A and B are shown apart, each in its own frame.
Chain A
Amino acid sequence: RFFPNITAIPPWHLPNTTSIAPWDAFTKFAGCQSGEVRDGLSKLKQYFSNFGYIPNSPSNFSDKFDDELEKALKTYQQNFNLNVTGQLDDKTLQQIVRPRCGNADIVNGTNSMNSGKSSSFHTTGHFHTTAH
């Protein structure tokens, strides 16, 4: 669906898109605590798995808020400059449900998104880093 000059299209000509975005349902987990079991929490784990925050991708994640989810949350919060709480707070969930690129943030377990330094090249025998 392509919209040339969308601001010139009368609103009544635009399609009715009231469908819920795929991740909007995650907002219902606000305030969910470690150890709790919530229906659908496995889908949030699948989300984190898709973007590299949970390294293994079992065929069926559990609906329990376990240590693996808490660890994934902390890494995600660090990468997106959020308070690192390991909890499903409102700001974290607002970030999670945003549309995004499908490429993983963490590839092959290597997370350099918010490491403070970005590794670049081995050049003349020493490891060179560049500050952000």
Chain B
Amino acid sequence: YTFFPGTPIWPANRRDLTYGFLPANGLTDEVKAVFTRAFEKWSAVTPLTFTQTDSFSSADIKIAFYSGDHGDGEPFDGVLGTLAHAFSPTNGRFHLDQDENWVVSGDVTRSDLPSSVDLESVAVHEIGHLLGLGHSSVEDAIMYPTISARTKKVELATDDIEGIQLLYGSNPNYNGSTTTSNTQERETNDGEA
């Protein structure tokens, strides 16, 4: 695990965070539920809580899908390539590439669409950035920078948990049992597991 320079975190008086969705995206409840599941991965191991709000402007974490240049100096590039990015605490901006073929449910590893990307996998990774984690070189870790198409990877690895608990401490109910490194992969190009 790594942290951003200066180790920015959410301050002690802002540990119950809200998240909202850009209204213009018109996301369905099914899509929003993917993010709820992703936030739960991190709240399970930390004292942080995450609550959805209908007020995008006042949300601590602002989730939005954009295409191409969307004004933050980090334009998206169409199908595959860059999938999403997120800012360090306490900025809260979480942007995803609208042009990706996002899979919301079902077994992405069995998709017939070669460019399918699992939304929950990317969401869990980007939330790590929003909370203060940088990229990790541990391949099983959620915070590893790359993810192949048609791959699902949503469980926090020991590396992720150690990093986030250094920043915020542990959830009092966390007993270590959620630590897994199960990674389901189906590579599109080279067939590696």
Interface size class of B (residues with CB under 8 A): 35 or more
> Hey, what's the 0/1 contact readout for A99-116 against B, CB within 8 Å counting as 1?
111110101101011100
Give Cα distance in the complex from A82 to B144, angstroms: 14
What total of A-B pairs shows CB separation below 8 Å? 146
Query: Per a CB cutoff under 8 Å, which of A4, A6, A101 touches B125?
Result: A101
Contact status B77-A99, CB under 8 Å: no
Residue B83 contacts which of A5, A14, A101, A119 (CB distance < 8 angstroms)?
A: A101
Q: Is B155 an interface residue (CB 8 A)?
A: no
Q: Evaluate whether A80 and B137 lie within 8 angstroms (CB atoms) in the complex, with A5-B106, A22-B80 already known.
A: yes
> Would you call B102 and A2 a contact (CB within 8 A)?
yes
Q: Which of A3, A22, A98, A114 contacts B116 (CB 8 A)?
A: A3
**Are A17 and B113 also in contact (CB < 8 A) when A23-B81, A114-B137 are?**
yes
Complex interface: chain B residues within 8 A of A2 (CB):
28, 31, 102, 104, 119
Q: Is there contact, CB below 8 Å, between B81 and A1?
A: no
Mark A113-132 against chain B: 1 for CB-CB distance below 8 A, else 0.
11000111100000000101
The 9 closest A-B pairs by CB, nearest first: A102-B85, A22-B81, A21-B80, A5-B106, A114-B137, A102-B82, A98-B146, A11-B112, A100-B146
Enumerate 27 A-B pairs (CB-CB under 8 Å) in ascending A order. A2-B28, A3-B106, A3-B116, A4-B30, A7-B107, A14-B113, A17-B79, A17-B113, A19-B79, A21-B79, A22-B78, A22-B81, A80-B146, A81-B139, A94-B189, A94-B190, A99-B146, A101-B84, A101-B135, A103-B86, A105-B135, A107-B4, A108-B5, A113-B135, A118-B163, A120-B3, A120-B7
Interface residue ranges, B against A (CB under 8 Å): 1-5, 7, 28, 30-31, 74, 76-86, 98-108, 110-117, 119, 122, 125-126, 129, 134-139, 145-149, 159, 162-163, 166, 189-190
